[in-house]
């Protein structure tokens, strides 16, 4: 009999008001039923938001350094449970243990970073323009924050959102992806063990169309932070805009790695393999395009194909596996559609292009590492996000052409160039349209103390991580103290 799990509302574990549940299964083995989770609805959202509202009235008055001490405890507990959390995550979303350990480590790093900010959260002091007057600006919390998170980084991304929200004095309702509810539950258990007060953190499981939509529309939610597809992000932005509700969106990517003829080609190939096939290509920062100078294109392509053929596909819990499964059947069908699109557009399939069902993989959603060449910038496989282990190779003749091709996409998250020419590197840093640019490194994400996010359809201008995240989770308040003992009329008296 499968374990039945619950929501966490106002410090209590509760079943969905409807009594309904949904299954959570291992994408590497469909026969492995991880558990049953609440199929929540608007009533559960109402209860969670109400609890968060009450919790906010108390939590905002807790001094920020004290809030930071709690996050230090959370970080220590995450460190203690790192291996267990990594295994839970691998079992329910598929990526290999080396990667899920890294995912948990991001959460640990994020806990300690935000805990330290509890003694900072800097405002500004500035001279007042009138005598005997003091002026400053401070950060204040916003209120109840709805955090809607994806399945591909089921611990790291919730920590990017939840820890900054808490250190700033907000309360939260977390709606994790339906594919990874167990990791979210374990995370909330750790927060509860650390001593987070009732109502400050609430967890509601369920489908995005029901729970997510109810959270976005709820009048008691002051802020929505969403990571997911651009299509859903647009819908959320529209609803939030109509209600003048703050919204932070982190959406898709169509990232490219440039390889110039003067690059360290072995290093470039190694980076492309990790960027394209790490997490089975299911990262918003994944390298889905390789833009290669024609003088080295054949050499790079041959090396990539040879290396990709050696990738061991298998259950992520097997330490010898290099690449796990796709998250579900819908994801695999989407990748297969793009394989057909690539062929129809005239790209040449060099390797892969099909499901992987050998041996123990027959019961999972595995897919072969796939590489296309003869790809043109106008092709859909060069412009649209596939979210799978598919790499498109495009040839160019100059740095200027490479940057033009790289920018030829609706997205702008992560980018990369491999070159030994410092001038080229700096021109790329200047001209690439992306929120992240790597020099001689693959298109991966940011370290937690740097801003993370992108331009164009990748987001709406906000940046997670680093200190920029506090501009999402706080309001600015300007404060004036007039100790002159008389009425001063600012600019009217300052002629």
DSSP string, 283-325: STT-EEEEEEEHHHHHHHHHHHHHHHTTPPB--TTSTT-SB--
Task: Answer whether residue 65 is part of any domain.
Answer: yes
Q: Do 23 and 102 share a domain, yes or no?
A: yes
User: Are 39 and 103 members of one domain?
Assistant: yes
Return d(Cα 245, Cα 33) in angstroms, integer: 38
Question: What pLDDT, on a 0 to 100 scale, did the predictor assign at position 421?
Answer: 98
Structural domain that includes position 303: 255-439
Beta bridge partners of 292: 259, 395
User: Quick count: other Cβ atoms within 10 Å of Cβ 440?
Assistant: 15
- Specify whether 417 is located in the same domain as 469: no
pLDDT for the residue 446:
75
In total, the chain counts a number of residues equal to: 495
CA distance 465 to 109: 11
- Could you tell me if 196 and 70 are in contact, meaning their C-beta atoms sit under 8 angstroms apart? yes
Q: Judge if 221 and 270 occupy the same domain.
A: no
- Residue 492 in any domain: the answer is no
Residue of 117, 250, 385, 464 marked active site: 250
How many Å apart are CA 413 and CA 394, to the nearest integer? 19
Tens place of pLDDT for every residue, the chain, 495 residues?
689 999 999 999 999 999 999 999 999 999 999 999 999 999 999 999 999 999 999 999 999 999 999 999 999 999 999 999 999 999 999 999 999 999 999 999 999 999 999 999 999 999 999 999 999 999 999 999 999 999 999 999 999 999 999 999 999 999 999 999 999 999 999 999 999 999 999 999 999 999 999 999 999 999 999 999 999 999 999 999 999 999 999 999 999 999 999 999 999 999 999 999 999 999 999 999 999 999 999 999 999 999 999 999 999 999 999 999 999 999 999 999 999 999 999 999 999 999 999 999 999 999 999 999 999 999 999 999 999 999 999 999 999 999 999 999 999 999 999 999 999 999 999 999 999 999 999 998 779 999 999 999 999 999 999 999 999 999 999 999 999 999 998 778 766
Cβ-proximal residues to 242 (8 Å cutoff; 6+ apart), any chain: none
Q: Is 124 assigned a catalytic role?
A: no
Are 228 and 263 within one domain?
Answer: no
Flag whether 488 is in a domain.
Answer: no
Alpha-carbon distance of 244 to 72, in angstroms, equals 34
Gap between the Cα atoms of 123 and 446, Å rounded: 25
Residues 216 and 278 in one domain: no
Pair 184, 272 in one domain:
no
Tokens 């290669």 belong to residue: 292
Contacts of 314 (CB under 8 A, 6+ apart): 28, 320, 321, 323, 324, 360, 361, 366
Determine the pLDDT at residue 50.
98
For residues 168 and 60, membership in a common domain is answered with: yes
**Does the CA dihedral 181-458-476-224 come out positive or negative?**
negative
Q: Give how many domains the chain has, as a whole number.
A: 2
Catalytic residue among 284, 361, 385, 395: 284
Neighbours of 133 (CB within 10 A): 15
The two tokens of residue 350 are 């060099």
Q: What is the DSSP letter of 207?
A: -
Residues 245 and 299 in one domain: no
What backbone phi and psi angles, to 5 degrees, belong to 217? -90, -10
Q: Distance between CA 259 and CA 278 in Å, rounded?
A: 19
Active site residue 250: yes
pLDDT at 492: 80
Same structural domain, 389 and 246: no
Distance CA 132, CA 284 (A): 53
Which residues pair with residue 482 across a beta bridge?
Answer: 133
One DSSP character per residue, 5-31 reads: --EEETTEEE--TT--EEEEEETTEEE
What's the rounded Cα separation, in Å, for the pair 155 and 95? 13
Residue 454 lies in a domain: no
Residues in a beta bridge with 141 = 474
> CA of 119: how far to CAs of 162, 232, 323, 413, in Å?
18, 36, 41, 31
Task: Write down the pTM of the prediction.
Answer: 0.96
CA distance 450 to 443: 15
Q: What is the pLDDT of residue 495?
A: 65
What CATH number has the domain bearing residue 354? 3.40.309.10
Distance CA 323, CA 325 (A): 7
Output the six-digit token pair for 439: 């020099």
| C-alpha–C-alpha distance, residues 327 and 324, integer Å | 9
CATH number, domain containing residue 38:
3.40.605.10
- Look at residue 491 and tell me if it is in a domain: no
| Helix residue spans in 208-293 (DSSP H) | 213-217, 230-242, 265-277
Task: Count CB neighbours of 17 within 10 A.
Answer: 16
**Do 368 and 346 fall within a single domain?**
yes
> Is there a single domain that holds both residue 181 and residue 76?
yes
Burial zone of 105 (CB within 10 Å; 0-12 exposed, 13-18 middle, 19+ buried)? middle
- 385 within a domain of the structure (yes/no): yes
């Amino acid at each position: 009999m499968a374990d039945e799990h619950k929501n966490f509302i106002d410090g209590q574990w509760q079943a969905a008001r409807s009594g309904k549940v949904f299954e959570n299964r291992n994408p590497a083995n469909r026969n492995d039923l991880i558990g049953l989770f609440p199929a929540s609805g608007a009533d559960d959202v109402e209860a969670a938001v109400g609890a968060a509202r009450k919790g906010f009235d108390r939590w905002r008055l807790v001094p920020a350094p004290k809030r930071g001490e709690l996050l230090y405890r959370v970080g220590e507990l995450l460190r203690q449970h790192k291996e267990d959390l990594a295994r839970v995550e691998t079992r329910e979303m598929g990526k290999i243990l080396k990667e899920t350990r890294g995912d948990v480590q991001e959460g640990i790093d994020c806990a300690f970073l935000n805990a330290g900010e509890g003694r900072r959260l800097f405002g500004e002091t500035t001279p007042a323009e009138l005598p005997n007057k003091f002026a400053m600006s401070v950060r204040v919390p916003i209120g109840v924050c709805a955090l809607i998170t994806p399945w591909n980084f089921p611990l790291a991304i919730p920590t990017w959102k939840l820890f900054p929200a808490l250190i700033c004095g907000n309360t939260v309702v977390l709606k994790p992806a339906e594919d990874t509810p167990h990791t979210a539950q374990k995370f909330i258990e750790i927060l509860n063990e650390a001593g987070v007060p009732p109502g400050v953190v609430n967890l509601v499981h369920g489908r995005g169309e029901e729970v997510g939509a109810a959270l976005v529309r709820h009048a008691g939610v002051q802020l929505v932070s969403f990571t997911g597809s651009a299509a859903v992000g647009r819908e959320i932005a529209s609803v939030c805009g109509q209600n003048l509700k703050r919204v932070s969106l982190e959406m898709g990517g169509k990232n490219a790695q440039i390889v110039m003829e003067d690059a360290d080609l072995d290093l470039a190939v190694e980076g492309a393999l990790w960027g394209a096939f790490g997490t089975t290509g299911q990262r918003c920062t994944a390298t889905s395009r390789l833009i290669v100078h024609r003088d080295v294109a054949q050499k790079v392509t041959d090396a990539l194909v040879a290396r990709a053929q050696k990738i061991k596909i298998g259950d992520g819990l097997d330490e010898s596996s290099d690449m796990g499964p796709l998250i579900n059947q819908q994801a695999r069908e989407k990748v297969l559609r793009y394989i057909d699109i690539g062929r129809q557009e005239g790209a040449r399939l060099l390797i892969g292009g099909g499901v992987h069902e050998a041996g123990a993989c027959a019961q999972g959603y595995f897919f072969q590492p796939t590489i296309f060449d003869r790809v043109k910038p106008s092709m859909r496989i060069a412009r649209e996000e596939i979210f799978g282990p598919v790499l498109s190779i495009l040839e160019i003749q100059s740095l200027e052409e490479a940057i033009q091709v790289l920018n030829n996409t609706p997205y702008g998250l992560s980018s990369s160039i491999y070159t030994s020419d410092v001038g080229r590197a700096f021109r790329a840093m200047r001209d690439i349209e992306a929120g992240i640019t790597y020099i001689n490194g693959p298109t991966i994400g940011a370290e937690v103390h740097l801003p993370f996010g992108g331009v164009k359809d990748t987001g709406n201008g906000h940046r997670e991580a680093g200190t920029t995240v506090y501009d999402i989770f706080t309001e600015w308040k300007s404060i004036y103290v007039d100790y002159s003992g008389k009425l001063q009329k600012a600019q009217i008296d300052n002629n």
